[in-house]
Structure 1
Amino acid sequence: MDLRIFTEPQQGATYDDLLAVARAAEQFGYDAFFRSDHYLAMNTDGLPGPTDAWITLAGLARDTSTIRLGTLVTSATFRYPGPLAVAVAQVDAMSGGRVEFGIGAGWYEEEHRAYGIPFPSLGERFDRLEESLAVITGLWETPVGQTFDHDGVHYPVSGSPALPKPVQSPRPPIVMGGMGKKRTPALAARYADEFNLPFVSVDDTVTQYERVRQACRAIDRDPESLTYSSALVLCCGRTEEEIARRAARIGRDVAELRENGLAGSPAELVDKIGRYREAGSQRIYLQTLDLADLDHLELVASEVAPQI
């Protein structure tokens, strides 16, 4: 079971804050450092303001050495697929092939209004996501010396040299996820290397993973060729007082976190991770909301990770 650190910088973080967490995660042996791709804080002032996901990851690519880096997840509404393919390939090269590319349709309408980004209907957002995936993977997988064309409705491409190529061949791993019943599993089966479920119960995890497996079978893909993962908010402590202090720091109730997140003592975390493992999860993203509390990461690395 891999453990990965997942941050939400739109809630208030500088690049230096994120670098400190990424370096600590690397030092403590976590598998990866991921960040959200948002421009607007949720239920907080978000000071000093948002940081761009791929600019952040470019910096971390040079300021770390071994930990894998990615987004959970980039919004397809934020960037045209051609320039996005260039940016991700470049960050992959800057990191020596450590990038993982999470992408989704986008959902947070307020941040689109706040930064002048068009926010089409849900159906069109999924259409654009599907076409973005076709363009991005097409650009990355076109052999060097050949050109790429895409007869698309939203993103037509003609005569592209399809450069640069990412370091990872044929491309960085693609992470997709969500609870959509039809298009989400179908797109994941076609394009994803990993399917992620954020903040979902064990029972819903079982149900959605099976939808993805059925979508894989429908196109003759081995369902076990995907990695299945979960994301859960982290709140661990050695004592009840420590758990309560960490919950208060992120504005959450301990009982609610125990029910819906990954909260409690190290032994409680091991038990709950085990339940997600039985549901099919192979990887857990630990949503880390208090970026100043590096001791939190050390506690999980030393007392939870060895047991799973």
Structure 2
Amino acid sequence: MDENFKLRIFTEPQQGATYDDLLRVAKTAENAGYDAFFRSDHYLKMGPVTGEPGPTDAWVTLAGLARETSGLRLGTLMTAGTFRLPGPLAIAVAQVDQMSGGRVELGLGTGWYAEEHTAYGIPFPSLKERFDRYAEQLEIITGLWGTPVGEAFAFDGEYYQLADSPALPKPVQRPRPPVLIGGTGKKRTPRLAARFADEFNLPFVDLDTAAAQYERVAEACREIGRDPGEVVRSAALLLCVGKDDAEIARRAEAIGREVDELRLNGLCGTPAEVADKIGTWRERTGITRLYLQVLDLSDLDHLELVAAEVAPQL
């Protein structure tokens, strides 16, 4: 595989997974040669599943994995800005970065799933307020990490005020852990990405939508004098790979999806078919990282098949 192109595993534990389930997936991913293990940050299941035994906290999970893996990068797609105050989140991510020896990445979004907020008593403001808070959160988190040791950080925003903060602890990665921003908003999202993102991610969209949004981010970078090439382009797509039609159908059935729909909207097919589709994405969009959404966390052979038979074709 092209050393500049990274395959990453992306999980959705709110659908029903324990920490031990995630640990098995992460260790399998590391041993198989994947670049990273990422997880969603949700507190409520989606769709016709029980979600049992219940949600696991993203940053508690990543702290545990930080101590039980050695080379795998670890992160979120995406931590909801509604879940945590920006100061404590900066502390938590910096600590997990220390615990991992500098392998953490922070994907941060506005939060969007109203029902999980209702279920667990989390305030859920209007979209405009969530975006306004999100902009302040990005400025605070990156500001805390970027403040030189021995100096104080202050911020006076509409929603958050910080005074005389020691801006500690510092993450291992300097100047900071990578910050991921994503989404299809046409105005504010590209502008925030141009200011704060090390990587811009698009989850589960078609090629045309992706290409147009990456260009909006590039234009927003140019408008503020930033080289668009500094922002890594990435995408997330659902994974369903099999050696033959029977294996593909079995894996689709295990996650309650139809093969034809997955072929259209995800990475579904034989290793050769999936490698071709990834090649098309790379050619059309310039992505250099791809997050493979794995929904059946018990099927570790799936990860090993892709590592053995898809990755070498890229």
TM-score, normalised via structure 1 length: 1.00
Matches within 5 A, 1:9-48: 9-43=13-47, 44-48=49-53
Identity score, percent:
70
Match of 1:254 in 2: 259
RMSD: 0.5
**What is the distance in 2 between the residues matched to 1:137 and 1:71?**
16
Partner residue of 1:164 out of 169, 192, 202: 169
**What is the distance in 2 between the residues matched to 1:276 and 1:168?**
30
Match of 1:96 in 2: 101
Partner residue of 1:197 out of 196, 202, 209: 202
Amino acid corresponding to residue 300 of structure 1 in structure 2: V
SS of the residue aligned with 1:40?
Answer: coil
Match of 2:153 in 1: 148
Amino acid corresponding to residue 51 of structure 2 in structure 1: G
| Structure 2: 5+ residue stretches without partners | none
**What is the distance in 2 between the residues matched to 1:8 and 1:202?**
23
Q: CA shift at 1:280, angstroms? A: 1.5
Indicate yes or no: 2:15 matched with 1:6.
no
| Structure 1: 5+ residue stretches without partners | none
Match of 1:289 in 2: 295
**What is the distance in 1 between the residues matched to 2:273 and 2:78?**
28
Aligned length: 308
SS of the residue aligned with 1:284?
Answer: strand
Matches within 5 A, 1:207-286: 207-278=212-283, 279-286=285-292
**What is the distance in 2 between the residues matched to 1:92 and 1:164?**
10
Q: CA shift at 1:45, angstroms? A: 1.2
After superposition, give the CA deviation of every residue in 1:137-192 in whole Å (9 maximum; x if it has no partner). 11000000000000111110000000000000010000110100000000000000
SS of the residue aligned with 2:235?
Answer: strand
Q: Which runs of 4+ in 1 moved over 4 A?
A: none
Q: CA shift at 1:23, angstroms? A: 0.2
Partner residue of 1:74 out of 72, 79, 85: 79
Amino acid corresponding to residue 114 of structure 2 in structure 1: E
- Of 30-39 and 198-207, deviating more is 198-207
**What is the distance in 2 between the residues matched to 1:42 and 1:226?**
31
Partner residue of 1:122 out of 121, 127, 135: 127
Match of 2:66 in 1: 61
TM-score, normalised via structure 2 length: 0.98
Q: CA shift at 1:292, angstroms? A: 0.4
**What is the distance in 2 between the residues matched to 1:248 and 1:101?**
33
Partner residue of 2:90 out of 85, 95, 104: 85
Q: CA shift at 1:97, angstroms? A: 0.1
Q: CA shift at 1:113, angstroms? A: 0.3
SS of the residue aligned with 2:43?
Answer: coil
After superposition, give the CA deviation of every residue in 1:25-78 in whole Å (9 maximum; x if it has no partner). 000000000000000000121000000000000000001111000000000000
**What is the distance in 1 between the residues matched to 2:152 and 2:66?**
28
**What is the distance in 2 between the residues matched to 1:225 and 1:77?**
28
SS of the residue aligned with 2:190?
Answer: helix
Amino acid corresponding to residue 303 of structure 2 in structure 1: L
**What is the distance in 2 between the residues matched to 1:280 and 1:250?**
30
